[in-house]
Structure 1
């Protein structure tokens, strides 16, 4: 169950017109091409505010950005555009979070290229930690999907917000695991916050809007493009205290997110996979290079307890603390078995047995063999 955040966070009072105009100005400034968030903040610091920056003479802009950049920037009519974007967002029941707001995500604010503004739909309390990102392949195996769902569920039950990118495969499974556990999840979108992508995640998108939080840096109505996903990934890692990678090929967006996480000073974990499966090659490389081993939620919790609202306690079993009287372990004493055989022996459904086997595998009591067969570990 999602825990209550300890403090209410919200934007500056709407009765403060100067702050309201500054927030719109930050949105307008972030729209300008060829500048980026880092240099935009330098410009704000130089001019004293975003409002002052937008009306500052060219000499101020040239002093910060250089003459060549200044020649490529068109500042006209951006404030009108920003007011219209904000109106449309609020008409959808959304809200804007900008640099300097009290509820701007505290961990994301540490990133040098943190966005000037974020469009949001959903529960603004989720902008604050603790949060863990789960990322991986769109074309994942059934094992990878089950692991992602289980990790999302177990971490969410512990009061951790699950952050991912709403993509097919590992991302979607992590979101679903958190929601099914009654926990919290954030989806960071590659396009506008009002653009559902992929379309077959429309139901999941609506569930997250109702029970979690949707975030996007791109303006409303922006379709996702290939170049927008690397920018999205830095927000995914920036929001989290740790990133877990599940089934990532050597060249993948998930590995990019892991690299960004390390650059941002975050913990990186990887779930081990089959050494012969190319989809697991990225995870195995991360483990070789020092990433934390994620056998289950407790591995992550143990590293991050200082950031958690409540102690994890003893809910997740240690690798050898499961009673050997467990019916599946008893059935496996005679040797290796397939899932259907185990389901018949213990008198449970195949789906229930698969979930139980995954838990046993994550804590090191069983091993999965080729052909979806299982054996006791050790």
Structure 2
């Protein structure tokens, strides 16, 4: 029997990829239910094989009914995604637990289960800083975003933003003139550019940086998706710089998510009379670091900029019943710090492996940051 062809850069065959898409793209299911099902049954194919009764027990009647219904949109998205992946060697998809999955994003509370990437995969693990701000920026704000992005890029920080009008676009443009490059995290499938005015900019980013989305090709610009992508912008980055923002702003959501993930938050001050400065001033009052030049950020992050260790090579990993990490875990729940002390793995590698084992049903995550080995019958 001929094996299904692999999906680029993910270590998935197409049947596995189809199972991921059914779990993630089924209308009415939702990310939280998908995570509960994966935690209970493991890989997506095992979830689908469990059946409606098991789905109902784990995720509730609404989620079970959604997954049981035929969904034409899933087939449409699958065909669009496969066509997109086949269109270029620079088109990739990464599943949670893949060795190439961004380590910093993996350490956040809600990492995407699948990531689509167009461009350089290497940038996803690089030292980076998010630059966000108003879509209705002032000329000075746009110039500040370009100048900071260019200077930070020349200092070796990849600039992450959201491809929106205003500050985001200026930050990407400035970073493209630097040596480090830029990552654009978008709220659509990567076969769509939104806003359309940024088509040329998106093409430059794809060539010299990376476009990233958790949404499958074929996903249009839906308003609810853009706040969700902010957690990815914050999660990929060592910190977030807010250039201009009103008091009620998506940029402040990104700053809050960065803070919740333990990342630094920076803000550029402005006139007390300018509406676009009020969000930055509020962040500074709440503890964000006031910055006047890029060097302020570079100096603040100096101690955090160290090479991220790659997870152990797949060929060096023992089978699940003789896994050295399971041996280190033993039969008593342990914290991440305790496991790190026992096995000596870097934090990023250890977190990636634990998530992979959790999805495989070998490890359970308990309240209080504890992990427990599960013995299979």
Residues 1:88 and 2:71 aligned together: no
Provide the aligned C-alpha RMSD in A.
2.1
Q: 1:111 to 1:63 in 2, by over 3 A?
A: farther
Query: Aligned ranges for residues 331-350 of structure 1 at < 5 Å?
Result: none
Aligned residue for 1:68?
62
Aligned residue for 2:117?
120
Give me the whole-angstrom Cα distance separating, in 1, the residues matched to 2:103 and 2:61.
34
TM-score (norm 1): 0.73
Could you tell me which of 12, 28, 35 is aligned with 1:34? 28
Give me the whole-angstrom Cα distance separating, in 1, the residues matched to 2:304 and 2:18.
32
Aligned residue for 1:349?
none
TM-score (norm 2): 0.73
Quick check: 1:28–1:81 contact (8 Å CA) kept in 2? no
Could you tell me which of 45, 54, 60 is aligned with 1:51? 45
Aligned residue for 1:345?
none
Question: Deviation per CA, 1:111-135, whole angstroms, max 9, x where unpaired?
Answer: 2322111221111111113111000
Give me the whole-angstrom Cα distance separating, in 2, the residues matched to 1:149 and 1:124.
24
Aligned residue for 2:205?
208
Aligned residue for 1:341?
none
Q: Secondary structure at the match of 2:131?
A: strand
Could you tell me which of 149, 152, 157 is aligned with 2:154? 157
Question: Deviation per CA, 1:209-263, whole angstroms, max 9, x where unpaired?
Answer: 1101011122213221221111111111111110110110001111111112122
Aligned residue for 2:286?
289
Structure 1 segments unaligned to the other structure (5+ residues): 1-9, 311-378
Give me the whole-angstrom Cα distance separating, in 2, the residues matched to 1:170 and 1:22.
39
Give me the whole-angstrom Cα distance separating, in 2, the residues matched to 1:99 and 1:61.
21
Determine which structure has greater relative contact order: mean sequence separation of CA pairs < 8 Å that are 6+ residues apart, divided by chain length: 2
Structure 2 segments unaligned to the other structure (5+ residues): 1-7, 308-377
Question: Deviation per CA, 1:327-364, whole angstroms, max 9, x where unpaired?
Answer: xxxxxxxxxxxxxxxxxxxxxxxxxxxxxxxxxxxxxx
Could you tell me which of 184, 189, 195 is aligned with 1:187? 184
Question: Deviation per CA, 1:134-186, whole angstroms, max 9, x where unpaired?
Answer: 00001111111111111111111121111001111110111011101232101
Cα displacement (A) at 1:73: 3.3
Give me the whole-angstrom Cα distance separating, in 1, the residues matched to 2:107 and 2:29.
19
Cα displacement (A) at 1:86: 3.6
Quick check: 2:118–2:190 contact (8 Å CA) kept in 1? yes
Give me the whole-angstrom Cα distance separating, in 1, the residues matched to 2:163 and 2:121.
18
Q: 1:68 to 1:80 in 2, by over 3 A?
A: closer
Aligned residue for 2:236?
239
